[in-house]
Amino acid sequence: MNLTKFDEDYVKFLISSKESKTLDFKQKVTSKEKIARTMAAMANTEGGIIVIGLSDQKKITGIDPEEEKFMVESANEIYCTPRVSLSCESFVIHDSDQEKKNKDEKFLLLVEIKKSAGPKIYTSDNMGNRKLYIRVDDQTRLIP
């Protein structure tokens, strides 16, 4: 799905921003359970954007956007109840290297999480226990 607000200027703005309640950076999705917690927490708070392919130090690492999209969507399906309302868009960054005199293309995946208008979204762990998460500043926190 193409989101018209994700133009180059907006993506550069996101990259230059600090992680917050509504913005999170992930180098890549290494755990479906962990990304599900972040997605549910954002949906339970104000919504937000997860930028995948960017380190916490804001280095563009690049990713395979189809693989990361699969991880995000399957995490939502497996771990989130009810499902998080989200949309994904891949974005190409042209990284200029003056020494090499060539342009390197790196992909980011932008995951927009919509605020839950209905019930709170719970995640389940591998033991089947339901847990509720929210975002506080730049962290995902478990609500006891």
Cis peptide before 119 (omega within 30 of 0): no
Nearest to 135 by CA among 70, 52, 49: 49
103 pLDDT higher than 50: yes
CB count in 10 Å sphere of residue 126: 7
Beta bridge partners of 60: 54
H or E, element range at 52:
strand 48-52
Cis peptide before 65 (omega within 30 of 0): no
CA-CA distance, 93 to 83, in Å (whole number)?
Answer: 30
Nearest to 34 by CA among 50, 20, 45: 50
- Quick check: helix, strand or coil at residue 55? coil
1 pLDDT higher than 50: no
Q: What is the pLDDT of residue 102?
A: 56
The CA angle 128-110-18, to the nearest 5 degrees, is 95
For the residues 9-18, what does the mean pLDDT come to? 92
35 pLDDT higher than 70: yes
**Tokens 């018209």 sit on residue:** 4
Task: Please tell me the least confidently modeled range out of 49-63, 66-80, 101-115, 121-135.
Answer: 101-115
Taking only the tens place, the pLDDT of each residue in 66-89 is 999 999 999 999 999 999 999 999
Boundaries of every domain in the chain? 8-119
For domain 8-119, the CATH architecture is: 2-Layer Sandwich (3.30)
In the DSSP assignment, the letter for residue 109 is E
